[in-house]
Amino acid sequence: MRLRNIPGSREVIAENKWCIQEPEQQKGHWHEAFGNDHPIYIEIGMGKGQFLTTLAKQNPNINYVGIEKYSSVLLRGLQKMEEEPLENVRFIRMDAETICDVFDKDEVSKIYLNFSDPWPKDRHAKRRLTSRQFFARYDKILKKDGVVEFKTDNVDLFDFSLEEIKEANWNLDAFTRDLHHDSAMNEGNVMTEYEERFSSMGNPIHKLIASR
């Protein structure tokens, strides 16, 4: 059974305290949701939540919001939270295209994009999370010194992303085509489930960091 098709997952999510049910109402008020003024980092396409929850454990003074489109994938992250609760984590089930309806100007300090859907057909380019259209959205919610960090094993998507950063008039602060053999960029790296799988198969992991 594919994760995104687990029966009853939406009902479970609707009753879970770790998942924000009406995220649009939090726009401009996310610090109230966490009860503090700590920086807010978001991961778009959080999958099962391993990356986000690991960071949250390491950094209790940072608030993390995980965004996932598929309810049955998000369910895995919620199950982990029930087993080991973290007060600096919240989840949202939503499509990333509406992210500006959920976060206000200067409300986010960092955005993580990990192993995003490559949308390989050219006509779907604007759906890629590293497209110029999405960078325009990130520009509206990131603080002035905020950054976007992107990891993938997909060479074509990475090449596309490098070009889109230029087209979006953003700065490419750093990049590598073999993260796990780049001592500088790999320092403190937290692996996702996909990253563990792909790297074990010998696939090099690509990473970039972009800012305005």
Question: How much is the pTM?
Answer: 0.93
CA distance 63 to 78: 16
Say which residue, 16 or 60, is predicted with more confidence.
Answer: 60
The pLDDT score that the predictor gives to residue 98 is: 96
Q: Within 13 Å of residue 11, how many CA atoms lie on the same side as its CB?
A: 3
Q: What is the mean pLDDT of the chain?
A: 92
Split into its structural domains, the chain has a count of 1
Q: Which residue has the tokens 């990130």?
A: 138
pLDDT band at 10 (very low <50, low <70, confident <90, very high): low
| pLDDT per residue as tens digits for the range 47-101 | 889 999 999 999 999 999 999 998 878 888 888 888 889 999 999 999 999 999 9
Which residues make Cβ contacts (< 8 Å) with residue 146, sequence separation at least 6? Answer: 108, 109, 110, 111, 138, 211, 212
Q: Is 173 one of the catalytic residues?
A: no
CA distance 67 to 42: 7
DSSP secondary structure string for all residues of the chain: --GGG-TTHHHHHHT-TTB-S-GGGGTT-HHHHHTS---EEEEES-TTSHHHHHHHHH-TTSEEEEEES-HHHHHHHHHHHHHS--TTEEEEE--GGGGGGTS-TT-EEEEEEES-----SGGGGGGSTTSHHHHHHHHHHEEEEEEEEEEES-HHHHHHHHHHHHHTT-EEEEEES-GGG-HHHHTT----HHHHHHHHTTPPPEEEEEE-
Q: What percent of the chain has pLDDT over 90?
A: 82
**Full residue range of the structural domain in which residue 96 is found:** 3-211
The pLDDT score that the predictor gives to residue 1 is: 30
The pLDDT score that the predictor gives to residue 18 is: 84
Q: For residues 120 and 84, is the Cβ–Cβ distance under 8 A? A: no
**pLDDT at position 168 over 80:** yes
The pLDDT score that the predictor gives to residue 12 is: 64
CATH code of the domain in which 81 resides? 3.40.50.150
**pLDDT at position 2 over 80:** no
Check 37, 101, 106, 117 and give the catalytic one: 117
